[in-house]
A and B are shown apart, each in its own frame.
Chain A
Amino acid sequence: MKTILKILLILVVAVMIGGTFYGAVTASSSGTDGTILQERPQPGDFPLDGEFTPPDREDFDDGVQFPAEMIKSLVIMTVVATVYLNITKYFGRKKPAMPTSL
């Protein structure tokens, strides 16, 4: 029961944050140009014979491709973590292990 309440609390907070983001994005989009909002493209809206691919219909299902994005993410995280650890080490601020917050 306690766990269900915790999960509900997490979801409520997530919905509140998500709702704020949603409101901000839709307000800024409709505020600048009402024509930006449009219906989701349906199959057949665009010719898919290779002549034209709209930017929002990039085909990700061409088969397995080299995971460059995965490597990019790993590099970003590694660089940020290394810089952070070196900065804290340089300033002599030893960060304690925090197992309960991981």
Chain B
Amino acid sequence: MSKQNINKLLLDLGTFITLLVVSAPRFTGETIHEWLSLALGGAIVVHLLLNWNWIVEVTARLFTKSAKNSRLNYVLNWALFASGIMIMLSGLMISKSVVPFFGLTLPQNMSWKELHEVSTNITMILMGLHVAQHWNWIVSMFKRIFTPSIPAQTASPVLSIQRKDART
């Protein structure tokens, strides 16, 4: 198992758990909710950097026949990115800790709060789809972590799928 795959798995696991934690502001308190959400934004940037090659490959081949299988995944990822930005933007607009910390005052509009809740629900649905799309990879990674005795022959298909996927 490559070091990059382990890094990806750890980052994704941490991001997923953080997403769950920040989705409960009454549990964390508002200040932690806001600062942790900002940190989550940073984790998402790192996630995109780690998967940059896939993004570039699929963007270049988006309208070709070979990208048929990746197209839905690509559109879903864009939708997830957009809804994540909507959460961040609406969250900053109703912020009571982060924005005042920087000495800024934003005009308040009550519709931001509603949008924050709506975009959170949309993101949870899209995240469910995102996890489902990658379920095979997640399961195979965990299997290989917890059963390190898997011989190289059975471990190799995941890597071959990875390369194949980059082309499709």
Judge: A and B partners, yes or no: yes
Binding site for B on A (CB under 8 A): 3, 6-7, 10-11, 13-14, 17-18, 21-22, 25-26, 28-29, 36-41, 56, 60-61, 64-70, 72-74, 76-82, 84-85, 88, 95-102
Q: Report the interface size for chain B: residues with CB under 8 A from the other chain.
A: 69
A61 near B30 with CB under 8 A, answer yes
> Residue B106 at the A interface, CB < 8 A?
yes
B164→A96 contact, CB < 8 A: yes
Residue A40 contacts which of B8, B21, B89, B108 (CB distance < 8 angstroms)?
Answer: B108
Check A98–B73 contact: CB distance below 8 A. yes
Q: Are B111 and A76 in contact (CB under 8 A)?
A: no
Whether A95 and B133, one on each chain, are in contact in the complex, defined by CB atoms closer than 8 angstroms, is yes
Residues of A within 8 A of B133 (CB): 84, 95, 98
In the complex, the number of residue pairs spanning A and B with C-beta atoms less than 8 Å apart equals 174
Question: Binding site of A, secondary structure by majority: helix, strand, loop or mixed?
Answer: helix
**A7-B49 Cα distance, complex, nearest whole Å:** 8
- Say whether chain B's binding surface is mostly helix, strand, loop, or mixed: helix
Inter-subunit contact B51/A80 (CB<8 Å)? no
Q: Which of A7, A13, A65, A100 is most buried by chain B, counting CB atoms within 10 A of its CB?
A: A100
Q: How far is the CA of A49 from the CA of B65 in the complex (A)?
A: 64
Apart from A56-B94, A99-B158, A100-B162, what 11 extra A-B contacts exist at CB < 8 Å? A10-B49, A25-B111, A60-B26, A60-B29, A69-B26, A69-B27, A76-B125, A84-B129, A96-B164, A99-B5, A102-B8
Contact A99 B162 (CB under 8 A): yes
Give the chain B neighbours of A79 by CB distance below 8 A.
Answer: 128
**Contact present for B108 and A38 (CB under 8 Å):** yes
Whether the pair A70, B125 counts as a contact (CB closer than 8 A) is no
At the interface, yes or no: B135 with Cβ under 8 Å from chain A?
Answer: yes
**A74 to B124 Cα, complex, angstroms:** 8
For A82, what are the chain B residues with a Cβ–Cβ distance below 8 Å?
Answer: 132
